[in-house]
């Protein structure tokens, strides 16, 4: 089933994954950016306190997320009017695939002066001619069809750091415009892919986690990743990304990497 979104809500409360969530490592498993956006949506909607700002999300990808019906549950594990912790869990049947913990902070305009980050402005989004089709899976997939990538520097086929604008090409669920948080979480999981330093055909470099800190609410559909990957000689590594929207720097993301030969 394709659909016009990443997930299709069902009458029983589950969300049916479409093939637009497919990732690069296994044709039956999802790219981490798709469930990251879904979990971000659930965290934002959790009451009480949905008006609070999501300042950090840490996700552990415990199992490959199958392209199958999923169930998301959330709970506030640290309630508060100023600071909250929201836990989220993503289930495929009876299997827990992803667990996440989000930090939400009170919004109160006018309490503090604006202190912009000391960072250069991001480059503009290149035109459609710069769009990159990440052909990393058979059939439709999240990197090639669920998201749109436009590289400014580097490329996922060229080893080394990369700078690329990324946006969700379809909504997370039908009829909803993805929020800035959802867009940022989806884009952040591309860090290890766009800045790959190993041959895709010879190695896997999978991130079992993702942590995103947001300085403010991202604005607009496009998120820029300035990403870099480092790999050790022991089968582990790390990908780090600075995140921008079209107004400027908006956060940072880190992924631990499991590396192995194919």
Q: By the 8 A CB rule, do 173 and 234 touch?
A: no
Averaged pLDDT of the chain:
94
Mean pLDDT (whole number) for 9-25: 96
pLDDT digits (tens, 9 = 90+) for 98-117: 999 999 999 988 888 888 78
The confidence score (pLDDT) of residue 135 equals 65
Structural domain span for residue 74: 7-107+131-261
Q: Please check whether residue 51 lies inside any domain of the structure.
A: yes
Q: Which residue has the tokens 């009480």?
A: 48
- pLDDT above 90 covers what percent of the chain? 85
Give pTM, 2 decimals: 0.95
Domain assignment present for 2: no
At residue 37, the pLDDT reads 98
Give me the CATH number covering residue 251: 2.40.160.210
Question: 181 falls in which pLDDT band (50, 70, 90)?
Answer: very high
Q: Report how far residue 150's alpha carbon sits from residue 132's, in angstroms, rounded to the nearest whole number.
A: 6
How confident is the model at residue 2, as a pLDDT? 45
Tokens for 234? 């022991």
* 114 assigned to some structural domain: no
Residue 126 placed within a domain: no
Crossing angle (nearest 10°) for helices 180-188 and 33-45: 150
Domain count of the chain? 1
Question: What integer is the mean pLDDT of 28-41?
Answer: 97
Residue 28 and residue 61 in contact, taking contact as beta carbons nearer than 8 Å: no
CA dist., res. 8 & res. 40, Å (int): 16
In a domain, 94, yes or no: yes
CA–CA separation, 98 vs 15, rounded Å? 15
Residue 147 in 3-state DSSP?
A: strand
In this structure, is residue 138 part of a structural domain?
yes
The residues facing 231 across adjacent strands are: 237
* 85 assigned to some structural domain: yes
Tokens describing residue 80: 């508060």
- Cα–Cα distance between 230 and 161 in angstroms, integer? 10
Q: 168: which residues sit within 8 A by CB, 6+ positions away?
A: 6, 37, 146, 147, 148, 178, 182, 183, 186, 221
In a domain, 122, yes or no: no
What spatial distance separates the first Cα and last Cα of the chain, rounded to whole Å? 29
Percent of residues, the chain, with pLDDT higher than 70: 97
pLDDT score of 1 more than 60: no
As beta bridge partners, residue 91 has 71, 96
């Amino acid at each position: 089933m394709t659909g016009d979104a990443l997930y299709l809500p069902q009458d029983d409360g589950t969300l049916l994954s479409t093939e637009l969530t497919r990732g690069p490592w296994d044709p039956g498993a999802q790219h981490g950016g798709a469930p990251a956006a879904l979990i971000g949506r659930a965290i934002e909607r959790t009451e009480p306190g949905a008006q609070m700002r999501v300042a950090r999300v840490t996700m552990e990808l415990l199992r490959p997320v199958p392209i199958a019906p999923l169930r998301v549950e959330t709970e506030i594990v640290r309630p508060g009017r100023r600071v909250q912790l929201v836990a989220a869990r993503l289930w495929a049947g009876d299997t827990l695939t992803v667990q996440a913990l989000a930090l939400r902070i009170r919004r109160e305009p006018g309490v503090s002066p604006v202190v912009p980050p000391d960072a250069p402005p991001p480059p503009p989004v290149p035109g459609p001619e710069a769009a990159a089709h990440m052909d990393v899976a058979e059939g439709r997939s999240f990197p090639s069809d669920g998201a749109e990538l436009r590289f400014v520097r580097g490329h996922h086929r060229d080893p080394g750091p990369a700078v690329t604008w990324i946006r969700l090409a379809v909504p997370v669920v039908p009829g909803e415009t993805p929020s800035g948080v959802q867009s940022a979480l989806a884009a952040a999981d591309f860090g290890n892919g766009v800045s790959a330093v190993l041959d895709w055909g010879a190695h896997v470099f999978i991130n079992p986690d993702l942590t995103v800190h947001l300085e403010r609410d991202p604005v607009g559909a496009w998120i820029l990743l300035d990403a870099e990957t480092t790999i050790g000689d022991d089968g582990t590594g790390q990908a780090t990304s600075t995140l921008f929207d079209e107004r400027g720097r908006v956060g940072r993301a880190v992924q631990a990497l499991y590396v192995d030969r194919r």
